[in-house]
């Protein structure tokens, strides 16, 4: 018996839209929308190549399917096992796993170890900077000063705590075996689709997608695209890719409009409602430092 694609899809003979199964997301959930876009691009691209992809994953806004039972934080070793089992049987199909930033925290060894082994698969994270499914506590990707249930002032430790930067898994994995790594935004659609295709062409590959969360970030559910666009425009979510040993920005950062966009970005979300002017200044410094790092990476690894 041929195993049909393990995918989060409801298909009919007449409908080709891809939907997450078995999930009840908030209206306008950005992770849900990003996941549908990813699935559209993967299935359409693979169809043109005559390939049958296997997609699985788990996340608050992503949905879930039976392979999620590989266990939280173990999606990468599940990909390795799947690849190995397929190789034994002479099956060659693209594998894509979609999950959230919490998975990376809980399974960092799993994630980096699988890439280091070099098994060809694509890992895409819809990063909402929180464990949204279980009360919106902090992950390592939670941005500095953003309020979550476990960091009401956005700081780590008490009293008053330290301001710490978020982890940069897309950069970390560059030095742990990835052939392709990128940050992405579903609002920048062409860039987004191109990166998914590049990832399919260069496994093992990783993409970290910004996916705001209506509930955790605190904004009206029709504001997803606006918030995402502001994240890129402000420079707090720089868009870049690393491929063939070369690092480059894929969407330029304009410093002249970054400051205003950062103010707008923080004002639009209740998770930043507690910020003082001093805090905003700290965030400006962080954004400048982050973009400086991205620019230095582009100089260090020219195309
Ligand atoms: S809590 Fe956040 S990530 Fe979860 S379904 Fe709602 S908007 Fe999506």
What is d(CA 196, CA 6) in angstroms, rounded to the nearest whole number?
A: 19
Residue 88 belongs to some domain of the structure? yes
Question: Residue 6 above 60 pLDDT?
Answer: no
- Which helix (H) or strand (E) element contains residue 284? helix 277-300
Residue 239 belongs to some domain of the structure? yes
Q: Where is average pLDDT lowest: 77-91, 98-112, 153-167, 228-242? A: 153-167
> 3-state DSSP: the chain helix, strand, coil percent, rounded to 5?
45, 15, 40
Q: Whose CA is nearest to atom 2 of ligand 1?
A: 213
Helix/strand/coil for 249 = strand
Residue 19 belongs to some domain of the structure? no
Residue 266 belongs to some domain of the structure? yes
Quick one: pLDDT band at residue 3, thresholds 50, 70, 90?
Answer: very low
What is d(CA 70, CA 189) in angstroms, rounded to the nearest whole number?
A: 31
Question: Residue 24 above 80 pLDDT?
Answer: no
Quick one: pLDDT band at residue 141, thresholds 50, 70, 90?
Answer: very high
What letter does residue 36 receive in the DSSP assignment?
A: H
Q: What domain count does the chain have? A: 1
pTM score of the predicted model: 0.92
- Summarize the confidence of residues 150-179 as an average pLDDT: 90
Q: What percent of the chain has pLDDT over 70?
A: 89
Q: Token match 């998975």: residue? A: 103
For a ligand 1 pocket test, name from 22, 26, 270 the mutation site with the most ligand atoms within 8 angstroms of its C-beta.
26
- Summarize the confidence of residues 191-211 as an average pLDDT: 98
What letter does residue 236 receive in the DSSP assignment?
A: S
25 lines ligand 1 (CB under 6 A): yes
Instruction: Find the Cα–Cα–Cα–Cα dihedral 287, 149, 20, 191, rounded to 10°.
Output: 0
Question: Residue 262 above 50 pLDDT?
Answer: yes
Residue 168 belongs to some domain of the structure? yes
What is d(CA 123, CA 57) in angstroms, rounded to the nearest whole number?
A: 9
Residue 18 belongs to some domain of the structure? no
Give residue 255's region: left, alpha or beta (phi > 0; psi -120 to 50). Answer: alpha
Residue 25 belongs to some domain of the structure? no
CA 206 to chain centre: 9
31 lines ligand 1 (CB under 6 A): yes
Residue 6 belongs to some domain of the structure? no
Report the CATH number at residue 212: 3.40.50.970
Answer for the pair 192, 186: CB distance below 8 angstroms, yes or no: yes
Termini Cα distance of the chain: 46
Quick one: pLDDT band at residue 5, thresholds 50, 70, 90?
Answer: very low
Give me Rg for the CA atoms of the chain.
19
Dist. CA 180 → ligand 1 center (Å): 28
Domain region containing 75: 30-300
Q: Which pair of tokens denotes residue 42?
A: 């993967």
**Cβ contacts of residue 9 below 8 Å, gap of 6+?**
18, 19, 21, 39, 43, 55
**Per residue in 29-84, pLDDT tens?**
899 889 889 988 998 999 999 998 988 888 888 776 555 555 667 889 989 999 99
Looking at every residue in the chain, the average pLDDT score rounds to 88
Query: In the prediction, which pLDDT does 65 show?
Result: 59
For a ligand 1 pocket test, name from 128, 141, 186, 227 the mutation site with the most ligand atoms within 8 angstroms of its C-beta.
128
């Amino acid at each position: 018996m041929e195993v049909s694609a393990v995918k989060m899809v409801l298909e009919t003979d007449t409908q080709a839209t891809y939907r997450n199964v078995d999930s009840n997301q908030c209206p306008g959930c950005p992770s849900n929308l990003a996941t549908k876009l990813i699935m559209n691009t993967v299935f359409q691209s693979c169809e043109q190549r005559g390939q049958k992809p296997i997609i699985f994953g788990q996340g608050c806004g992503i949905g879930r399917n039976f392979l999620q039972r590989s266990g939280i934080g173990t999606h990468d070793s599940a990909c390795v096992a799947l690849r190995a089992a397929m190789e034994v049987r002479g099956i060659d199909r693209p594998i894509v796993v979609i999950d959230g930033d919490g998975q990376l925290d809980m399974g960092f060894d799993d994630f980096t170890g699988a890439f280091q082994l070099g098994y060809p698969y694509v890992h895409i994270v819809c990063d909402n900077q929180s464990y949204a499914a279980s009360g919106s506590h902090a992950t390592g990707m939670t941005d500095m000063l953003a309020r979550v249930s476990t960091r009401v002032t956005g700081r780590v430790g008490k009293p008053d705590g330290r301001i710490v930067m978020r982890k940069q898994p897309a950069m970390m994995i560059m030095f742990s075996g990835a052939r392709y790594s990128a940050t992405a935004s579903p609002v920048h659609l062409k860039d987004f689709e191109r990166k998914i295709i590049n990832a399919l062409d260069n496994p093992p590959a990783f993409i970290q997608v910004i996916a705001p969360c209506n509930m955790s970030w605190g904004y009206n559910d029709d504001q997803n695209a606006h918030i995402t666009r502001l994240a890129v425009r402000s420079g707090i979510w720089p868009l870049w890719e690393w491929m063939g040993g070369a690092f480059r920005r894929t969407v330029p950062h304009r410093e002249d409009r970054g400051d205003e966009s950062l103010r707008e970005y923080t004002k639009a979300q209740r998770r930043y409602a507690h910020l003082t002017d001093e805090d905003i200044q700290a965030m400006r410094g962080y954004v400048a430092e982050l973009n400086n790092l991205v620019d230095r990476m582009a100089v260090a690894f020219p195309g």
